[in-house]
Amino acid sequence: MAKDTVAIIGLGKVGTAVGLLLQASGYPIVAVSDVDATALKRASWFPGARAVEACSDAAALARCILITTRDDRIGPVCEEVCRNGGIRPGDICVHMSGAGGLDLLAPARLLGARVASVHPIQSFADVDGAVANLPGSTFGVTADPSILDWACQLVRDLGGVPLVVAESEKTLYHAAACVASNYLTTLLSVVEDLYRSLGVDAQSARQAFWPLVLGTLRNIEARGPVEALTGPIARGDVGTLRRHLAALRIAKPEFLDMYRLMGLMTVELSERQNRLSPEIIVEMKDLLKGGCEDEHSR
Question: How would you classify the pairing of strands 50-52 and 29-33?
Answer: parallel
pLDDT band at 297 (very low <50, low <70, confident <90, very high): very low
Q: pLDDT digit string (tens) for 250-263? A: 999 999 999 999 99
Domain spanning 6-165, CATH architecture: 3-Layer(aba) Sandwich (3.40)
Amino acid letter at 115? Answer: V
How far apart are alpha carbons 77 and 66 in whole angstroms? 11
What's the mean pLDDT when you consider all of the chain? 94
Question: How would you classify the pairing of strands 161-164 and 138-143?
Answer: parallel
- State how far Cα 30 lies from the chain centre: 28
Q: What is the pTM of this model?
A: 0.85
Using the predicted structure, report yes or no on whether residue 1 has a pLDDT greater than 70. no
How far apart are alpha carbons 169 and 159 in whole angstroms? 24
Strand partners, 6: 29, 64
How far apart are alpha carbons 143 and 150 in whole angstroms? 9
Contact 32, 49 (CB under 8 A): yes
Distances from the Cα of 43 to the Cαs of 11, 17, 78, 154, in angstroms? 8, 12, 21, 21
- Please tell me the number of Cα atoms within 13 Å of 255 on its side-chain side: 20
Contact 117, 96 (CB under 8 A): yes
Contact 148, 163 (CB under 8 A): no
How far apart are alpha carbons 213 and 95 in whole angstroms? 33
Using the predicted structure, report yes or no on whether residue 298 has a pLDDT greater than 50. no
Phi and psi, residue 138, nearest 5°:
-85, 145
Question: What mean pLDDT do residues 138-163 have?
Answer: 97
pLDDT at 123: 85
Mapped onto helix, strand or coil, the DSSP state of residue 4 is coil
Contacts of 207 (CB under 8 A, 6+ apart): none
How far apart are alpha carbons 163 and 96 in whole angstroms? 14
Sheet of 64-67: strand order equals: 50-52, 29-33, 6-9, 64-67, 92-95, 114-120, 138-143, 161-164
pLDDT band at 79 (very low <50, low <70, confident <90, very high): very high
Question: What mean pLDDT do residues 181-208 have?
Answer: 96
pLDDT at 292: 54
Contact 6, 22 (CB under 8 A): yes
Contact 100, 74 (CB under 8 A): yes
Contact 19, 32 (CB under 8 A): yes
Q: Strand (E) positions, 101-183?
A: 114-120, 138-143, 161-164
